[in-house]
Amino acid sequence: MSPSQTLDEVAQLVGRAERTLFITGAGISADSGLPTYRGVGGLYHERLTDDGLTIEEALSGVMMASRPAIAWKYIAEIEANCRGARPNTAHMVIAALERDRPGVCVLTQNVDGLHRAAGSRNLIEIHGTVHRLRCTECPHAREVPDFSDMRIPPECPKCGGVMRPDVVLFGEWLPEREVARLEAVLARGVDLVVSIGTTSVFPYIAEPVWWARQAGVPAVEINPGDTEVSHLVTHRLRMGAAEAMGELWRRLHPGVPDAG
């Protein structure tokens, strides 16, 4: 089957589905200029940090608890490299599809907030977001647009404790609320699963594709390379996220989707 025929078939699946689960990873944000993971930043691929640590050690829950200045140093460096990025066509198409069909849901590993900026609201941010800070000592939390004017590490204005981004650091548990939301989506069932820009190495990211395979639900993968779920899906688009989603949108709607 030619790429154009596969796009036509996938567009028909997307057009028919009332409930679609999109699963996204660093690849969807690459077209916004963000480096893929070693996509929490892509800045440390195959090398140690300046402090002689692996990025997994530097950005661990243990480091945040014991030496927050070290953890914050690299969190801030990654945020600075991502600052100013805007949602691309893939983010905007997914948000536009949600506006058409409230049953559309996004499960994302990304902490960059680009899905939310594009207008997605039915959003499971399984790894959290760098734009929300919470105190490590008290319940205080706040939203921030970026880290440009912040003291690093930031202090809590309520109790003086150390603030941290509300993200899952290495060695930490996933947020129970987001896990429960994902389980609820799968329990209700979906008509289509679309995996975009993720290698699916985490079991909870691959799980919905396995679920689709067992339930006889069509599943699509959009990724230039092979991944852990490539052999499970019913349709594969070996394309970048923005190109593929743009082509699908053109087959469904005239014009370009706007951010919501």
For 78, list phi and psi in degrees, rounded to 5: -65, -45
For residues 21 and 192, the answer to whether their CB atoms sit within 8 Å is yes
Six-digit token string for 185: 């989506």
Structural domains in the chain, sorted by start: 3-33+86-127+173-252 (3.40.50.1220), 35-84+131-167 (3.30.1600.10)
What is the pTM for the complete model shown? 0.91
Give the tens place of pLDDT for each residue, 24-65.
Answer: 999 999 999 887 654 444 455 556 677 788 888 999 999 999
Distance CA 181, CA 203 (A): 16
Query: What is the predicted pLDDT for the residue at 13?
Result: 97
Distance CA 100, CA 87 (A): 19
Give the tens place of pLDDT for each residue, 156-178.
Answer: 999 999 999 999 999 999 999 99
Distance CA 163, CA 156 (A): 6
* Share of residues in the chain with pLDDT > 70 (%): 92
Annotation says 140 is catalytic: no
Binning pLDDT at 50, 70 and 90, where does residue 259 land?
low
Within 10 A of 33 (CB to CB), how many other CB atoms are there?
12
Among candidate residues 76, 120, 65, 77, the one with its CA nearest the CA of residue 260: 120
For residues 113 and 123, the answer to whether their CB atoms sit within 8 Å is no
Among candidate residues 176, 245, 179, the one with its CA nearest the CA of residue 208: 179
Choosing from 45, 91, 115, 127, the catalytic residue is 127
Rg, Å, the chain Cα set: 19
- Spatial neighbors of 246 by CB under 8 A, at least 6 apart, are 89, 90, 93
